[in-house]
Amino acid sequence: MNNVTRGLTRRKTLQILGTGAVGAMSGAFGQAPTFPKGAIIRAIQKDFLPEELAGGATLFHEHMQLGTDFNAKFAAATAAARAANAMPTPQGRGAAAANTPATANNAKGPAAAKGPDIMRDPDLMAAEVKKVKEANIACIVDAGHADMGRDINFLRQVAMKSGVPIVAGGGFYSQPFYPKEISTMSEDQILKALIKQADEDVLGVFGEIGSWDEITADERKVFRAVGRAHVATNLPIFTHTGIPGKSALEQLDILEDQGVKPERVLIGHLGNLVDTNVYVHRAICRRGAFIGFDRQGGANDAQQVPMVLTLIEAGYVDHLMFSADASSGYSKTMTVFLPKLRAAGVSEAMLNKIMYDNPRRFLAFVPKRPRKK
């Protein structure tokens, strides 16, 4: 906080920052972001110019299909991370939702309505995705890949039936989910597999690429290969960090060591790294990378809102992205989380930068390899 804002309330400070009266931000509010010549955002339907998606928000981390065994594996990995960090496992109402990602019949926060599993029916999922248009969402990034149980053909059907631009993520997720052969594959072999996947599945991003709190030898190998695959393709990268996000800075270290520029990286799930001083969050922003706050629209909002406000006040609005990390109810970030930030004094200019501009800046890249489909 500088001399202009010292002594003001948080709400007033945010209002002043939102008008551009304090020139601490990189890029003026209200100005459209600029993109390199030849930059595109690669969706399943087609390659979009970044300007074509300027009229709506982009959700950087959602799921439209996960395997039937995904929740059990995820819950086990989360429990192990909590135990390793002496964190209590949540008990009582909503405890299961705190430990597992959303699925159609197991959403974060309040229990989802019982009914057909929309992750197995592309028509039902397409109908769910179409609803985002009502919240002015223009694009969704699907963060799944094969080792999480996502079928790229299912995603293609959802994209075509819904008409909503969908960016396909890909790669390898994390140790509990890797195919068995990862342990015996060389880094070069994993690199070759990633480039093949990027070409054949028409990926628009590598992600979510994960580790839990202690990065395993296999996860390091995958991260190095993903960094090299970025250098070969220019595809951006977003990550998964475990609870409480201890591996965040190390993930960025590994990728940078492979020649990845930090501005092409988003470190994910940092709403789980609860720190009122946001030291790690600030460190990542100072290095130039994006940070992702997700799993929004429920109980997690209470811990996320204060951290977001602190980061905005510190001048890091250009580095923030939001998403629900859900598999139904994708609009929760727009309809539930953003109103809480507005109530705290965050301006529309700031929210538009976070939801409209930052994701396009992150996803836009100049391809090094031609689109194959």
Name 6's Cβ contacts closer than 8 Å, sequence gap at least 6: none
User: What is the model's pLDDT at position 43?
Assistant: 98
- Give the Cβ contact number of residue 226 at 10 Å: 27
Place of tokens 């945010």: 14
Interatomic CA distance for residues 64 and 118, integer angstroms: 8
User: pLDDT (tens digit, 9 = 90+) per residue, 4-56?
Assistant: 345 546 665 565 555 443 333 334 455 789 999 999 999 999 999 999 999 99
The single-letter code of the amino acid at 294 is D
Q: Quick one: pLDDT at residue 243? A: 72
pLDDT exceeding 90 applies to what percent of the chain? Answer: 73
Position 184, amino acid = T
Q: Could you give the CA distance from residue 35 to residue 235 in angstroms, rounded to a whole number?
A: 15
| 161, amino acid identity | K
Which class for 234: exposed (0-12), middle (13-18), buried (19 or more C-beta within 10 A)? middle
| Helix, strand, or coil (residue 301) | helix
Reading the chain (373 residues) residue by residue, the pLDDT tens digits are 444 345 546 665 565 555 443 333 334 455 789 999 999 999 999 999 999 999 999 999 999 999 999 989 888 888 877 777 665 443 333 333 334 444 433 333 222 334 568 999 999 999 999 999 999 999 999 999 999 999 999 999 999 999 999 999 999 999 999 999 999 999 999 999 999 999 999 999 999 999 987 899 999 999 999 999 999 999 999 999 987 778 999 999 999 999 999 999 999 999 989 998 999 999 999 999 999 999 999 988 999 999 999 999 999 999 999 999 988 899 999 999 999 999 999 999 999 999 999 999 999 999 999 999 7
Token pair of 206, please? 């590598």
Give residue-wise pLDDT tens across range 303-331: 999 999 999 999 999 999 999 998 889 99
289 phi and psi, to 5 degrees?
Answer: -85, 165
What's the sign of the alpha-carbon dihedral 168, 172, 175, 181?
positive
Contacts of 31 (CB under 8 A, 6+ apart): none
3-state helix/strand/coil string of 305-332: HHHHHHHHHCCCHHHEEECCCCCCCCCH
What pTM does this model have?
A: 0.87
Q: 285 and 251 in contact (C-beta within 8 Å)? A: no
Contact at 8 Å (CB) between 296 and 321?
no
Q: Please name which of 326, 333, 320 lies closest in space to residue 278, comparing C-alpha atoms.
A: 320
- In the chain the domains, ranked by start, together with CATH numbers, are 10-19+35-363 (3.20.20.140)
Termini Cα distance of the chain: 49
Q: Which residue shows structure tokens 């969908």?
A: 166
